[in-house]
Structure 1
C-alpha cells in the first residue's frame, strides 16, 4: 500500500508531493504542526462547546440532585405530617368519647339526684304515715282507756246501789 504524503519543505512549493512507503514516512515537523493546528481549529470549537454543555449538564444534575433531596425531605416531613394527622384524628375521637362520657355522667348525675329527691319524698311520706299510724294507735288506745273507764264506772255505780229486798 502506498500513501501520498504532501510535505512542505522550507523552500519548496506546497504543491510538491512525495510518495513513500508506509514503513518509512518522513514528514516535515512544520507540516505536522500546521495539521495539528488545523485539526485543533476544526475540533476545538466543538470540544469547547461540548465542554460547556457538559458543564451545564453537570450543573443541572447538581440542581436536580438537590431538588430530589429536598423532595425526599418533604416526603419525610409528609410522613411526619401523616403521623401528626393520625394523632389529631385519634385525639378528635377521644375528645368525642370524652364529651359523650361527660353527657352520660351529667345524665346519670341528674337521674341520681332525681332518685334521691324521690327517696327523700318517700321517706318523708313514710314518716308521716308512721306518725299518723302512731297517732291513730294512740287515739285508739286512749279511746279504749276511755271505754274501759266508763265500763268500770258503770260497774262501780251498779255495785254501790243496794240490792232490792
Structure 2
C-alpha cells in the first residue's frame, strides 16, 4: 500500500471494515472469468488480494477485458500501453472505468482508480468486475465467454417495466 503509514483508532476500524468486504472466493471466480474472456495470455495472478491488485494495477488486463466484450471494430480502448510509468498506468485504468460506465455499469458500482492503484478498496474493484460480468451475461450478444452461472443476469429497466405491467393486468 503506497504512501500509507500505520493507522490507529477510527481509521484502523474503517480500514478493517473495508478489507473484510474483500472476498477471496470471488477473486478466484473473477480471475477464471478474465482468463476465459481474454485468453491465457493475460497470465494468472498470485493468489490473494495483493496478487490480484498487482495483476490489474497497470490497467492492461482491465483494458483487454473491456475490449473483449466488443466486436473488433468497436473496441473502446484503441491503444493498450505496456508501460512502467505510473501516470500512464493510472490513465489506462481510468479509460477502463469510463468504458465500463459506457458499457452500462452504474456509477455507484465503479471503483476509483486509487482503490486499485493503492489497494485502498479491492472489494470495490470486485464489485465493478461483478457488475461488468452481469451486464455481459445479460446482453447475450456473443461476446461473453465463460460459465454463465458465474454472474447473475441484470434486470434492465425495460424488462422490469414489462413485468410490472403484466402483473397489473
Same fold (TM > 0.5) = no
When Rg is computed on C-alpha atoms for both structures, the one with the higher figure is 1
Greater relative CO, 1 or 2 (CA 8 Å, sep 6+): 2
TM-score, reference length from structure 1:
0.20
Larger proportion of strand:
1
Name the structure with the higher helix share: 1
